[in-house]
Chain A
Amino acid sequence: MMPDLPTLFLQIVVILALARALGWLFRKIYQPQVVGEMVAGVLLGPSLLGWVAPGVYKTLFPPESLGYLNSLSQVGLILFMFLVGLELDLKVLRGLGHATVVTSHVSIIFPFFLGSGLAIYLYPRLSDDSVSFTNFALFMGAAMSITAFPVLARILTERNLLKTRLGSVAITCAAVDDVTGWCILAGIVLLARASESSLPLWAALSGVAGFIALMWFGVRQLVGKMGDFFERYGTVTQGMLVIILLLVLSAGWVTERLGIHAVFGAFISGVIMPKNHGLVNSLTEKINDVAVVLLLPLFFAFVGLQTSLGLLSGAKMWFFAALILATAVVGKFGGSMLSARFTGLSWREAGSLGVLMNTRGLMELVLLTIGLEIGVISQALFSMLVLMAITTTFMTSPILEWIYYSRLYPKKTTLAETANESEEATVDQASSFPVIE
């Protein structure tokens, strides 16, 4: 069936306009643009537009049109996950100091423990017997453990913190968290889909192991030649870009067929790319405009369309939402802060690290969308977790300013002043460390 093109174009126009407007507005209050775009998605969904103007909502987002919007948003997500993998340099994981090892491990396992513990309370209240407790608890653990590597990197770059001790520990912990979080999620998706999949679990596991080995030991060597080519000619040709896009989409197809999600294939494709700074910058520039500017807001809108705050009716549901938020903050902020303090960071640095690690942003939305898609979480729980993701990302900048800057620069009162002072240096650093806003 042909898509209803006028409706699709209108949807894209409305989504992009609102996402950019709110992104701009949130930047004015020193928030990452991504927070504004996430909020825009929720505002366009049943939580606001569908509630105040149900007629407009049904005209703009008729159910039969959402498949096309979803397909476009998934392409954006695949490209975005490639960029996340591209930014992730596994070399940072080598030679970690004991502070980083302890902090990164505790910042995963402690929120994971609290999240799976919370599952004992929430499972009979927000789930049903089509979902096994093991999948539910593992998913809740993973949802509490994730850190938004791209948003965190952006915040560190903007605040000129990348080269500080806090920045290097934070970026390394986020990298460890990301890799671990995605491995856990891949396992959950595999388990949850095992009953429906035509592949037996052992075959799927062997396939995933074989795929990773092939990508790491085979394809990585081949794409490594692109790094050499770039160093010689200083450009990413259209031919190179086509090869990379083919690799990303093929890897996504393989991981989808293996029963884990297509985002894993895209992520691994990014991880194996050569980490030549020029190449990474150039590739990011080329893909970023389409993936992040055009397609990713569609993903936020699609998340927003599935987020129904109307499902949180009554004090009981809001209590669950508050409990999830509290668990997420205590687990990630508390766990990271205490472990960092224990390993020798000052209270100020440890607190700032806790705040940074508590940033969940877009990565949490990716995880939640997969959870909803495979049926591990209900729509009400999805909505609560989306609220938690937005809140924890939103709280990062002001609390970081309060904990880190107000003590580091006691004579300066706002983040704006300290940020403006180092603006030129930040621009230089940002251009050598491409991250998503």
Chain B
Amino acid sequence: MRIAIVYFVVMSLVISGVFGILSLGTHLDAPASVKGKWAIEAQQFIPGNETCGGSLDWEEYSTLTMIQSGPDLEITLGDTYHTLLMGSLMGEIIIAKEKHPHGTTRGMELEGKVDRQPEPDRLEATLTLPRCGSSLQVTAIRVNSSNGEGDSQ
């Protein structure tokens, strides 16, 4: 009898707790969704010092793919190098820097703003190579919102 009473009291408390959590969580805000594949539509290339060996081969940049975990982003460009940038989303602003698994990078940076109204989502961004002074302005349209490599499968 004692076990039954304790059981019902504990279970009631825990189940109420779960409902409380679900109710509390509805007031939480998560970062805007920017994950998925983006098609680059328009580009404007500003050449810098081409002798520094880091000019942007802008014709290659037709897509970029974002993997999102909360505000943290992993952005892969659709160029032959699959350039990888790590960054974060602050409100509507994306800031990312190139990262290579083994350390050597061209130091590419991306800064952009996401506009989610109206559909489809748009991204106005600038890719820069600060060491060479070259930059590429891009406008991208989100074509799918699956996270990770799922879109390729």
Contact = CB atoms under 8 A, between A and B. Distances in A.
A187 interface: no
Nearest to A378: B69
A112 interface: yes
Interface in B54-77: 67-72, 74
Contacts of A116: 18, 21-22
Chain B binding surface, main DSSP class: mixed
B148 interface: yes
Contacts of A308: 148
Contacts of A317: 69, 72
B64 to A, nearest CB: 15
Given A70-B153, A113-B18, A134-B26, A375 B146 contact: yes
A91 interface: no
Contacts of B152: 63-64, 66
Contacts of A430: none
Nearest to B84: A310
A117 interface: yes
Given A110-B14, A127-B70, A342-B3, A306 B148 contact: yes
Contacts of A113: 14, 17-18, 21
Nearest to A61: B149
A133 B29 CA distance: 9
A128 B33 contact: yes
B11 A105 contact: yes
B33 A109 contact: no
Interface stretch (A118-126, A243-251, A412-420): A118-126
A378 B149 CA distance: 11
A380 interface: yes
Given A306-B149, A379-B147, A124 B30 contact: yes
Contacts of B21: 113, 116-117, 119-120, 137
A136 B17 CA distance: 16
A105 B4 CA distance: 13
A305 interface: yes
B101 interface: yes
A102 B3 CA distance: 9
A106 to B, nearest CB: 7
A370 to B, nearest CB: 13
B25 interface: yes
Given A120-B24, A124-B70, A310 B101 contact: yes
26 contacts: A51-B101, A63-B149, A66-B149, A102-B3, A102-B7, A105-B7, A120-B21, A120-B28, A124-B31, A127-B30, A128-B31, A128-B32, A128-B34, A129-B29, A129-B30, A133-B22, A134-B25, A138-B22, A306-B150, A311-B67, A343-B3, A372-B148, A375-B147, A378-B35, A378-B69, A379-B69
A141 interface: yes
Contacts of B68: 128, 378
Contacts of A381: 69
B43 to A, nearest CB: 24
A124 B7 contact: no
Contacts, number: 122
A411 interface: no
A126 B147 contact: no
B8 to A, nearest CB: 10
B22 A128 contact: no
B143 interface: no
Contact of A128 (B24, B70, B148): B70
B29 A313 contact: no
Given A128-B68, A342-B3, 7 more contacts: A51-B101, A120-B24, A123-B25, A124-B28, A134-B25, A310-B101, A380-B72
Nearest to A50: B101
Interface string B1-45: 001101100110011011001101110111111110000000000
B51 to A, nearest CB: 29
A119 B153 CA distance: 29
A86 B137 CA distance: 58
Contacts of B69: 126, 311, 317, 378-381
A224 interface: no
Contacts of A124: 28-31, 70
Interface in B107-153: 145-150, 152-153
Given A128-B31, A128-B35, A313-B86, A119 B147 contact: no
A193 B6 CA distance: 38
A54 interface: yes
B30 A109 contact: no
A127 B34 CA distance: 11
A117 to B, nearest CB: 5
A129 B33 contact: yes
